[in-house]
Amino acid sequence: MHSVSLIIPCYNEELNIQKGVLDKIGNYVHHVPSIKEVIISDDGSTDNTKELIKREYLTEYPLFRLLENEHKGKAQTLISAILSAKGDYVLFTDIDLATPIEEVEKMLMEIEKNTDIVIGSRNNTRAGAPLTRKIMAVGFIFIRNFIIGLKNIKDTQCGFKAFRTEAAKKIISSLVVFKNTQGVEGSSVSAGFDLEFLFLATKLGYSITEIPVVWKHVETKNVNFITDTLETLQDIFSIKYYDITGAYKT
């Protein structure tokens, strides 16, 4: 049985924590022997997120570990957690539990088949999402496929993925766009990070399995759809530029 580090990135998640999301996660992983640690990787929260976690969760749930990072966006928050992970695999889930924590079981079943990467897929249904987001998501997929490929992956952006830790660290060492992200203002979901990560995974020849997972739309203040979309488009063109110019050392 492979050991797993569950990673939960967070930024100003006081309200979600008060709703009990970490209790749900803690109670679930208590009964999953393969999950050896839960890394809550904080992106420099400015509300009471870190204080709540320290006061109410680190002693209550022995598997929980808090990483306190500078505010550099979700990408660097994930990278920090991956580099500190002790498990054979790292598994990411968003703290809003848009994908229920129980879906971890599906990921663990695929991990035991020794695939390098497992991607949770919403299968483009986006249940509950506003129509405008669904339309923009379709446009995003078209542009992504046309510019950098990844046509064999239906859903690159679902925040529910698992990577062999060794593979993830190799990919991190080859990043260019997200190699050294500087400090940011406000929330930054770093959607382009998933794209560069998976783009490099395919170039490095890692096996990728995509499985359907339950997902429900959760409105969040940390996502500005227009701004995040424009940033992601910029990242797509940057990935293409660096690929053409040979910047990726694979």
The pLDDT tens digits of the residues spanning 139-198 come to 567 777 778 878 788 888 888 999 999 999 999 999 999 987 665 666 566 678 999 999
Residue 220, pLDDT > 60, answer no
d(CA 170, CA 215): 29
Top pLDDT among 110 and 190 is at 110
Residue 58, pLDDT > 80, answer yes
Structure tokens at 174: 């080859």
pLDDT tens string 112-133: 999 999 999 986 555 555 555 5
Within 10 angstroms of residue 141's Cβ, the number of other Cβ atoms is: 18
Q: What's the N-to-C CA distance of the chain in angstroms?
A: 30
Grade residue 138 by pLDDT with cuts at 50, 70 and 90: low
Q: Which residues of 15-36 are buried (b: 16+ CB within 10 A; e: fewer)?
A: ebbeeebbeebbebbeeeebbb
Question: What is the reported pLDDT for 147?
Answer: 82
d(CA 98, CA 123): 14
Model's pTM, two decimal places?
0.87
Query: What is the second-level CATH architecture of the domain 4-244?
Result: Alpha-Beta Complex (3.90)
Residue 47, pLDDT > 60, answer yes
